[in-house]
């Protein structure tokens, strides 16, 4: 799929600063895009990456235009423009490519006859795929894996060796990303990345792992994930980390090696958690964790305006206690 910048500008209601005939064949991040791809920047936070990017073109607003050293597509709402454009580069599964396991030939693997297998699917030696699974185009599954009933592994996902995926799990589902327009209507952002799972990983029943928005969602070697866990787009989970049931990890969070995350933990997006961290059950993680250790955090829900006041007092309790001790000594 190729588009000229002129076609892209019309699609996203933008103007061009540069070559309108420049052809674009894909979307990528600012730091990874090549001269035939387009990227986008939404705030000053990205101005250094914007000025050094090798992208063939970048979607920006007027305030960031001066930092763009390549072709620019200038729009009012960058996120909305990217959402609209991403849909044009999305690869959807062609259901006509799906054939029953009984029609496929994988002599060194065992695949249930009623599974549906797409094109260009690689299945390693001694791997077992149980009944009612759907394995879409361009999926790669390593050696000695066990894929239990009713699992969906969606287009382009990669599974390493010695992995176990329990019933009902979904690997490579569309991530949750939307941009809002001037009329307060939502526009879905197509997720163009994949899911990459390492070796010796186990994934629990009805767990969902979303594909990346541009780059991949990554589950590294030795990770153990319980039932009913949700892992959003572009999350990276380090080696030998274990995650208990009902945990939700929001997009673009990076979790280190050998972490232990208890049940029903909620982790806010775009955070970094260092290696060897233990997070106790039902905790909410809403900031980076830079030091190894055991963490717990929860408090009853309240109006956000009230929570801001409470939060200020909580962070000053030690100082208040010290002040009160001094006052009491003076009184005595």
Convert the pLDDT of each residue in 12-62 to its tens digit.
Answer: 999 999 999 999 999 999 999 999 999 999 988 888 899 999 999 999 999
Tens-place pLDDT, residues 296-315: 987 766 788 888 888 888 88
Kindly state whether residues 145 and 235 are assigned to the same domain: yes
Tens-place pLDDT, residues 227-264: 999 999 999 999 999 999 999 999 999 999 999 999 99
| Total structural domains within the chain | 3
Closest CA to 172 of 158, 188, 190: 158
Task: Give pLDDT, residue 300.
Answer: 65
Last residue of one domain, picked from the residues 35, 69, 89: 89
Length of the chain: 332
Last residue of one domain, picked from the residues 89, 106, 131: 89
Q: Which domain holds residue 330?
A: 304-332
Surface-to-core class of residue 286, CB atoms within 10 Å of its CB (0-12 exposed, 13-18 middle, 19+ buried): exposed
Kindly state whether residues 17 and 143 are assigned to the same domain: no
Kindly state whether residues 67 and 105 are assigned to the same domain: no
Surface-to-core class of residue 253, CB atoms within 10 Å of its CB (0-12 exposed, 13-18 middle, 19+ buried): buried
Kindly state whether residues 117 and 251 are assigned to the same domain: yes
pLDDT at 328 over 80: no
Last residue of one domain, picked from the residues 41, 71, 89: 89
Distance CA 266, CA 110 (A): 38
Kindly state whether residues 54 and 151 are assigned to the same domain: no
Angle at alpha carbon of residue 69, lines to 63 and 74, rounded to 5°: 40
Kindly state whether residues 186 and 311 are assigned to the same domain: no
Query: Domain with 15 in it: what CATH number?
Result: 3.40.1390.10
Kindly state whether residues 182 and 309 are assigned to the same domain: no
233 is catalytic: yes
Residue holding tokens 């996902």? 157
Tens-place pLDDT, residues 284-297: 999 999 999 999 98
The whole-model pTM stands at 0.89
Q: Which of 67, 220, 230, 233 is catalytic?
A: 233
Tens-place pLDDT, residues 90-118: 989 999 999 999 999 999 999 999 999 99
Task: Give pLDDT, residue 325.
Answer: 76
The pair of structure tokens assigned to 28 is 């990528």
Q: Is 84 helix (H, G, I), strand (E, B) or coil?
A: helix
Kindly state whether residues 152 and 239 are assigned to the same domain: yes
């Amino acid at each position: 799929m190729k588009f000229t910048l002129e076609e892209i500008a019309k699609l996203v209601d933008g103007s061009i600063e540069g070559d309108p005939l420049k052809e674009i064949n894909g979307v990528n991040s600012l730091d990874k895009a090549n001269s035939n791809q387009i990227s986008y920047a939404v705030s000053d936070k990205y101005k250094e990456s914007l000025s050094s990017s090798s992208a063939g073109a970048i979607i920006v607003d007027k305030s960031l235009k001066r930092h763009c050293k390549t072709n620019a597509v200038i729009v009012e709402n960058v996120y909305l423009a990217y959402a609209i454009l991403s849909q044009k580069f999305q690869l959807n599964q062609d259901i006509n490519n799906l054939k029953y396991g009984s029609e496929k030939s994988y002599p060194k693997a065992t695949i249930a006859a009623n599974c549906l297998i797409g094109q260009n699917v690689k299945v390693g030696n001694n791997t077992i795929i149980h009944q009612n699974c759907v394995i879409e185009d361009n999926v790669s599954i390593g050696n000695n894996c066990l894929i239990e009933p009713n699992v969906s592994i969606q287009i382009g996902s990669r599974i390493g060796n010695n992995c176990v995926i329990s019933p009902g799990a979904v690997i490579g589902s569309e991530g949750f990303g939307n941009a809002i327009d001037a009329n307060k209507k939502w526009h879905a952002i197509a997720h163009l990345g994949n899911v990459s799972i390492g070796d010796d990983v186990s994934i629990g029943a009805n767990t969902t792992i979303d594909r990346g928005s541009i780059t991949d969602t990554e589950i590294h070697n030795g990770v153990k994930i319980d039932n009913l866990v949700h892992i959003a787009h572009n999350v990276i989970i380090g080696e030998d980390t274990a995650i208990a049931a009902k945990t939700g990890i929001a997009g673009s969070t990076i979790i280190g090696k050998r972490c232990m995350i208890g049940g029903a933990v909620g982790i806010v997006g775009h955070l970094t958690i260092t290696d060897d961290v233990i997070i106790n059950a039902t905790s909410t993680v809403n900031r980076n964790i830079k030091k190894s250790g055991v963490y717990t955090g929860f408090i009853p829900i309240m109006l956000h305006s009230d929570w801001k006041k409470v939060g200020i007092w909580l962070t000053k309790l030690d100082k208040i206690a010290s002040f009160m001790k001094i006052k009491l000594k003076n009184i005595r």
